[in-house]
A and B are shown apart, each in its own frame.
Chain A
Amino acid sequence: MTALPPPSAKKLGLVIDLDTCVGCQACATSCKEWNTGGYSAPLSDFDPYGADPHGTWLNRVHSYETGDGDTSRTVHFPRSCLQCETPACVTVCPTGASYKRAEDGIVLVNPDTCIGCKLCSWACAYGAREYDYADGIMKKCTLCVDRIYNEHIPEEDRIPACVRACPTGARHFGDLGDIDSDVSRLVAARGGYDLLPEMGFKPVNKYLPPRPKRDASTSPLARSEMNASEPAHVTGSALEKLFAFADKLLTR
């Protein structure tokens, strides 16, 4: 059924910390790896070693630059389905293949009934749905529905693959419907926000803004006593000369 269920008490989703994300693409590759064998399987690729390699991915990591001069900064920005509360992607679906789960709010595509009309991808504001040209159906983030409830894998793995893979802990998974959950507290503490709230889809996933930049007076790097002294390797000892020689030789 593409009619939306009544709002669920449980709202599973992700909180993504743009302050700590380093844009390493670990979440994206881990997602691809898990999901090409999981619920969304396959995630087809085309021309992988040719001139126009492209394929279906459920998570994309952009890098943006904001501000100018001293105030400019680089922000890495992972983008995947936000498991919206009132998404148009579900209601436009003519077959009922797209649906929002009443029990936890996860938005899924039923691979057995999707006809590949692509209308849901037109209706999503966030580019979160990628059509699989080989499979002929729509693919999207499943919030690793086949991991988070999976009793056949160790308990610490029962979180989305992207969250498990993130080396900087920039991705958090939890129940955003529960105001006392860790993720909800994090959102409250850090001023987590919605993407394109004017669109009215009410995303469940939240983004944490990069922290304010430290200015010169508070930055530890700017304080002179913290400045690193000259590297100590130029003492001129015979051993050091030998290492320098070897280094030169090897890097040739």
Chain B
Amino acid sequence: MHPAYSVIVFTTLSGAGYGLLMTMAALALTRSIAPDTRLGVVGLGAAFVMIATGLLSSTAHLGRPLRAWRALSQWRTSWLSREGLASLVTFVPAGVFALGWIYFGTTSGIFGLTALLSIALALATVYCTAMIYQSLPTIRAWHQPIVTPIYCVLSLATGSLLAITVLRLFALERPVLVGISVALLVLAAVLKRIYWSTIDSAQRTYTVGAATGLGRFGDVRPLDPPHTQANYVMREMGYAIGRKHADKLRRITVWVGLLLPALLLAATLVMPPLPATTATLLAVVLCGFGVVTERWLFFAEAQHVVTLYYGAKSA
């Protein structure tokens, strides 16, 4: 599948934004931090900006962005529609929660309830995003039950990392949160390794013989293509990445993008404040790079069954 940059930016940014929102809400719910106004403005503000930027960038992928509102109508069947709806609905409790934190200086009572709702809806949104891919039977690498957990864990891992960064900028230390974030980053790396071994060993049961029905006559080979230049189907669905190249990017994702940030983050627990903040910022940069690489690979490695008509033997 062709890696569309607007979609990569969207899922990375808004995934991290929702993760940050969930972490901030969890911190408030567990009363781990006092609802300081400036902290609220920076932390929740960053979450909102990232979510909104991500959503806007996703409309750049549309042929007719001005009609985007229509995408809210088919939530009964479409995961894309559900995602759009969930993303917008999340703004309601999250907005009230932010109002309580920043304006009224409280996160308890009704505002505690909105914190809880924000977490539930943010997680639901990330889940819907992943389901858009996981629900497609035409792309084996996406049609795996591990896809949704990976999206959710990556959202929480990147979000908690961002939350730690914000807290450190306000000279706040929350070692438990650091521990959780390290665990999430390691978990994400483990899940990705499982994902890759799953898709590498998955049976490729769709064949060119079944796609054309000509398998009964033996081996099926393309002779003349229907068009001389790539058409939309080939441009969008025919993208393929070399094995060697993919392996290198997989290693970069796991080691540089997930495990190195986890190590840096763990090390900050025993560092003085200034190096700790610097190391955290470095972890954010590495992890951001890692997730973008992961998303790019998620598309580039995914083979669509339609490639069977264009020379692939199985899918």
Contacts and interface: CB of A to CB of B under 8 A. Distances in A.
A210 to B, nearest CB: 7
A91 B78 contact: yes
A52 interface: yes
B42 to A, nearest CB: 34
Given A75-B214, A130-B232, A137-B64, A117 B137 contact: no
Contacts of A64: 212, 214, 220-223
B229 interface: yes
Contacts of B71: 94-95, 115, 117
Contacts of A197: 210
B210 A198 contact: yes
A196 B74 contact: no
Given A67-B217, A136-B64, A62 B222 contact: yes
B301 to A, nearest CB: 15
B26 interface: no
Contacts of A135: 63
A138 B217 CA distance: 35
Contact of B74 (A2, A57, A62, A207): A2
B232 A66 contact: no
B306 interface: yes
Contact of B70 (A28, A92, A115, A193): A115
B220 A122 contact: no
Contact of B217 (A73, A88, A96, A113): A73
Given A54-B227, A92-B79, A119-B80, A127 B237 contact: yes
Given A94-B73, A94-B74, A199-B137, A193 B227 contact: no
A66 B78 contact: no
B307 to A, nearest CB: 9
Nearest to A206: B213
B36 interface: no
A195 interface: yes
B309 A127 contact: yes
Given A62-B309, A96-B74, A207-B213, A122 B139 contact: yes
Contacts of A131: 63, 232, 236
Contacts of A95: 67, 70-71, 73-74, 81
A88 to B, nearest CB: 6
Interface residues of B, number: 58
A132 to B, nearest CB: 8
Given A60-B226, A66-B214, A131-B63, A121 B237 contact: yes
Contacts of A133: 63, 232
Interface in A52-72: 52-57, 60-68, 71-72
A59 to B, nearest CB: 9
Interface in A123-148: 123-127, 130-133, 135-138
A114 interface: yes
A167 B230 CA distance: 27
B218 A61 contact: no
A57 B216 contact: no
Interface string B178-214: 0000000000000000000000000001100011111
B219 A116 contact: no
A79 interface: yes
Nearest to B138: A125
Contact of A63 (B223, B233, B235): B223
Nearest to A113: B70
A1 B74 contact: yes
B78 A2 contact: yes
B31 interface: no
A74 interface: yes
A57 B234 CA distance: 13
Contacts of B223: 63-65, 74
A3 interface: yes
A67 B218 contact: yes
Nearest to A194: B213
B62 to A, nearest CB: 5
Contact of B68 (A28, A115, A137, A200): A115
Interface of A: 1-3, 18, 23, 28, 52-57, 60-68, 71-75, 77, 79, 88, 91-97, 113-119, 121-127, 130-133, 135-138, 193-200, 207, 209-210
Interface of B: 1, 61-65, 67-68, 70-74, 76-81, 84, 132, 135-139, 205-206, 210-214, 216-233, 235-237, 304-306, 309
Closest 6 CB pairs of A and B: A116-B63, A136-B63, A94-B81, A67-B218, A127-B306, A60-B226
28 contacts: A56-B232, A57-B231, A63-B222, A64-B214, A65-B221, A66-B217, A67-B218, A68-B218, A68-B219, A72-B218, A77-B214, A91-B78, A92-B80, A92-B135, A94-B71, A94-B81, A114-B67, A115-B64, A122-B304, A123-B136, A126-B306, A127-B309, A130-B233, A136-B62, A137-B63, A194-B213, A199-B137, A209-B216
